[in-house]
Amino acid sequence: MTHAEAKAIAEILNAATRAGNLATAYSIVGKLAKPDAQAVILAAGHSTTTIRDKGFIAHLQASIAGACRARLDGWTYTTERKKGREA
């Protein structure tokens, strides 16, 4: 996957999380191979991890679900989470 492709998919993912559409957000990354999913997640502004498959998927799902609940894109959600930890 090219950087441009990852960025384009990330925009779609962020539109889904801003709309609070968890099913769509999961379906966007759910069909990607792990390296491609990591590229999309990073391009969308979420944090990622190098944890093996199950840990990676749990981290990915938690980040996407949190962004959907807050109706934020990945960049804003990650920033807000960091602010919360610093408080």
Residue 8, Cβ neighbours under 10 Å: how many? 14
Domain count, the chain: 1
| Tens digit of each residue's pLDDT, the chain (87 residues) | 899 999 999 999 999 999 999 999 999 998 999 889 989 999 999 887 666 777 788 888 899 999 999 999 999 998 888 787 543
Round to whole Å and give the CA distance between 73 and 87. Answer: 21
The token pair at 42 is 């990073």
- Rounded to two decimals, the pTM is 0.85
Q: Which of 11, 23, 28 is nearest to 74 (CA)?
A: 11
Which residue range(s) make up the domain with 36? 3-86
Angle CA 76–59–33, to nearest 5: 100
The pLDDT, as a whole number, for residue 58 is 84
Residue 2: helix, strand or coil by DSSP? coil
- pLDDT the model gives residue 41: 92
